[in-house]
Structure 1
């Protein structure tokens, strides 16, 4: 039987970069901070390469940063399983892998992050699948959940390092990073920024929103290195960034527009104001998730600042950002900055996701061994 020091993580890249972003960070932390041997199965190496630049998409298996990365396809052969298996975001383990699993395998389905109240009750519940037991692990913002993905030193040591290593030019502009889904009201945001009384430098990583940005500037296309100015807006198109470089950008900006899960959490650890765009879901579920987060995260925020935060988030989701909404947020930006720093520190005092996963798996293994005696 494989030891509990060997873990397998399965990642199916459904859309964008959130799945692989979370799985790659988690794999690196489990290896570096908990000395675990990690195999990371990825079904789309071409997308993963955006976040893991040294990845060779032609190889079936390779080792990067002490992580064994395996190209996962319907032809993948599984000889043995790890003692602990993480099925990320209900990606469904392959039947060939399930066939080699044994009843003592610690099978964890790592769910998406949510601040909704029901997460506290559903975290760590399990269900049976034949002789196997599947545990449901919910990341979250309270002590009753699986915690947040966070390296141990990120708020104190790493944030100072990232700030010192900033590559943004020195000027008196407000620095804003923009990373969002294509359906966001990008044109109205850029219009509001351009018409505000604050000069803004907006940094846009190369992604699928560039066509919308190009349309705003009446250009056919945009490419990394392009710089465009309209009224009080100066927009910089930058390359798609590695995770480390993206973290530096978040720490260097005064305000970050983020999306999904990975960039959302990194914005929290950057300790800077941010506007979060949740992944679009049916039946307005994404709006419920947004409001659950805002109500929890900003519960102690001064009422006037909170009002401007909620208004800008709702406008970002409702397809229209007006100049007054943008300006009202800027008026409270200094207070929001203070609150963001405080919240970043507060949440960093909680046990992180990787550590909670290790504690949970060790507890499960201990229970299995005791039941055998």
Structure 2
């Protein structure tokens, strides 16, 4: 009761009834698999971390390619359209009947649309039905692709329209600055980073023998330089040659020194093996089986150099503090070169005054990402021209350019490693994407 002069007014408690905001109980995560493992890898990691932080939340993970999901998630059945997995519900995006039944009986509250995947037709029909519109507001969060481009800062938390007042949408940007949502700092990956013994045990547990034992010994031997390669198909002859030159130089100081490649299973495996064979197999190459995400994380944190592709492995490489080359998803007019240049601009400050070493790293990155036979547009060519060696790139010189740049870069490994570690620390200081997403969702109102 509140008094205004002689007049008395009764007020309901602000935590009750009129001002009540319904607490979220459910999050639906949509993933349309484009890159075999990059997008689903991100979704798997994000949902695991959300479940760890908020075990009371019900997650429904809707995936267009369960086979890709099952390849990294032990125990998931790629043939089951509806299944419980680690306390969450996994659904086949393509099974309209099962999904329509599930979401009719249990309407969604929050939907994460990952990487502009859009919505399946059955969900579109439910959300925008004129006969049976949603009872409460549905909140869609478009979790965008990871980009280092400047526009990510301005796009983060920007509202987007839909064709219904009952369906709200906002854009949420993973990223490299404090003005974005950051990267997923899941507990398992961070523990692998901080505890080498834990990572080695995880590796041995997740790999069959004798591969597990061989790799564990390799990452523990200071005379071995382990290199993980997980890429899109390409000619790896320049990379193999650069590693061989580096090995030759190091053997003068340590006769036992040897490079060892861990070759990931997938679309880059056969061309990598062919390039290695054509070079006379100058060092060991270990073929990896398909492995779980937890095992992959452990391996990626134990190497000396990572050549990776995809959304998820790229973010892990950035966080690892280990030197890496990112093979960006090839795009029309070579626009991936603009993407890689943006990443390079984020890393450059951490090289301090070592301008030449950074320019070698940047040139190698751009040449590594150039697609043979593809024309560039003005923006892509400008991204190549920003760095001395890549500006002079010709296809005829690809192998020699890659080989020389890679060898010279590895000979400056300590400087490169320090820059990558400092870059990693800056990313970790931005906080966890999963936590930032949950904090944002806590502010949403579902009562209208």
Residues 263-302 of structure 1 mapped to structure 2, 5 A cutoff? 263-301=313-351, 302=354
For residues 71 and 199 of structure 2, the distance between their equivalents in structure 1, rounded to whole angstroms, comes to 23
CA contact (8 A) 2:113 2:143 kept: yes
Give the drift of 1:122: 1.3
For residues 333 and 316 of structure 1, the distance between their equivalents in structure 2, rounded to whole angstroms, comes to 18
Give the drift of 1:305: 2.7
For residues 338 and 283 of structure 1, the distance between their equivalents in structure 2, rounded to whole angstroms, comes to 34
Give the drift of 1:67: 2.1
2:357 corresponding residue in structure 1:
305
1:223 corresponding residue in structure 2:
none
User: 194, 201, 205: which one pairs with 2:260?
Assistant: 201
Residues 126-205 of structure 1 mapped to structure 2, 5 A cutoff? 126-131=159-164, 132-151=167-186, 154-155=189-190, 159-161=194-196, 162-165=198-201, 167-169=216-218, 170-171=220-221, 172-182=223-233, 184-196=234-246, 197=248, 198=250, 199-205=258-264
Give the drift of 1:164: 4.4
Residues 1-373 of structure 1 mapped to structure 2, 5 A cutoff? 3-35=23-55, 36-75=57-96, 76-77=99-100, 78-79=103-104, 80-101=106-127, 102=134, 104-131=137-164, 132-151=167-186, 154-155=189-190, 159-161=194-196, 162-165=198-201, 167-169=216-218, 170-171=220-221, 172-182=223-233, 184-196=234-246, 197=248, 198=250, 199-218=258-277, 230-231=281-282, 233-301=283-351, 302-318=354-370, 320-322=398-400, 323-365=403-445
Q: Which has the larger radius of gyration?
A: 2
Give the drift of 1:6: 0.9
Unaligned 5+ segments in structure 1 are 220-227
SS of alignment partner, residue 263 of structure 2: strand
RMSD over aligned Cα atoms? 2.3
Residues 161-218 of structure 1: CA distance to partner in whole angstroms, max 9, x if unpaired?
Answer: 5444352434312110000001x33122112222432431010011112221232255
For residues 105 and 257 of structure 1, the distance between their equivalents in structure 2, rounded to whole angstroms, comes to 40
Question: After the TM superposition, which of the residue ranges 69-78 and 351-360 deviates more from structure 2?
Answer: 69-78
SS of alignment partner, residue 87 of structure 1: strand
For residues 30 and 85 of structure 2, the distance between their equivalents in structure 1, rounded to whole angstroms, comes to 16
Residues 124-169 of structure 1: CA distance to partner in whole angstroms, max 9, x if unpaired?
Answer: 1122222222211111111111211222574467531544435243
For residues 265 and 191 of structure 2, the distance between their equivalents in structure 1, rounded to whole angstroms, comes to 30
CA contact (8 A) 2:29 2:112 kept: yes
CA contact (8 A) 1:2 1:83 kept: no
For residues 157 and 288 of structure 1, the distance between their equivalents in structure 2, rounded to whole angstroms, comes to 32
Give the drift of 1:285: 1.8
CA contact (8 A) 1:81 1:97 kept: no
CA contact (8 A) 2:28 2:62 kept: yes
Q: What is the TM-score when the length of structure 2 is the normalising length?
A: 0.74
CA contact (8 A) 2:31 2:117 kept: yes
For residues 87 and 321 of structure 2, the distance between their equivalents in structure 1, rounded to whole angstroms, comes to 29
Unaligned 5+ segments in structure 2 are 1-20, 128-133, 204-215, 251-257, 373-397
Question: After the TM superposition, which of the residue ranges 305-314 and 259-268 deviates more from structure 2?
Answer: 305-314
CA contact (8 A) 1:3 1:82 kept: no
Residues 232-275 of structure 1: CA distance to partner in whole angstroms, max 9, x if unpaired?
Answer: x2211111221111111111100001112100111122221111
SS of alignment partner, residue 317 of structure 2: helix
Q: What is the TM-score when the length of structure 1 is the normalising length?
A: 0.89
For residues 188 and 158 of structure 1, the distance between their equivalents in structure 2, rounded to whole angstroms, comes to 30
